[in-house]
Amino acid sequence: MTSISEAWRRAADAAAAVHQIRNRLQSIIIEAALLKRTSAAGDPAALARIGSLAQDGAGYLELFGELIPRPDIDGVASLKDANDVLAATDVHTEEELARYSVRCRSEALEELLRTLLTLGIPFRGFRAKRITIGPSVGDRVEIILELNPDVSIASYSTVTPWMRAQQMARDIGGSLELHSGEPPVVKLHLPKG
């Protein structure tokens, strides 16, 4: 039996890959529309083929959302549940972190943080040194990870660890952003539990 962490990791990888395919397909559709517009006086059969290509592409775009089954990550997790993950990655935590919870299962929160801290952030050339809570806005918790520059890891995958972590945050209903500055930070916005 596959654990929720493994199932979610696979689903996030698939979603990130589909995102790349979707972006490329949208570019092809736009190029076909531009080609059709600039070739208005051209061969009618070629124009019909270009129109068919754009229609086929648009039809396939609608299928992508149905292709990826999402594991059940519904629940409520306290941020203190992720202490083991944070301790294993030597990230300094603030005591206030334990007061907050997010809307997802604790295994999902742990997997998101593990992926972000051990794969996503190092992929971008950093390592996390401290985690704090930012200002709450509405129904969101802002988690701020202060970063230090680090040696970037090489990846030959089309689905980067950073994209996987972004997809995981989106699956929970949140967002993930890397901000330059002194120090650089990652801002993770998750729905309050």
**Which residues, in sequence order, are bridge partners of residue 102?**
77, 192
**Which residues, in sequence order, are bridge partners of residue 31?**
none
Does the pTM surpass 0.95? The reply is: no
pLDDT in tens, 113-149: 999 999 889 888 888 999 988 887 788 989 999 998 8
Kindly give, in sequence order, each residue whose CB lies less than 8 Å from that of residue 146, ignoring residues fewer than 6 positions away. 128, 129, 130, 131, 132, 183, 184, 185
Tell me what pLDDT residue 142 has: 92
CATH 3.30.565.10, domain 77-191, yes or no = yes
Strand duo 77-78 + 185-191: pairing: unpaired
CA-wise closest residue to 103 among 63, 137, 73: 73
- pLDDT of residue 80 exceeding 60: yes
Strand duo 175-179 + 101-102: pairing: unpaired
What confidence tier does 155 reach under pLDDT thresholds 50, 70, 90? low
- Whole-angstrom distance, CA of residue 168 vs CA of residue 116: 9
pLDDT in tens, 50-71: 777 767 766 666 666 566 667 7
Alpha carbon 186 to its chain's center: 13
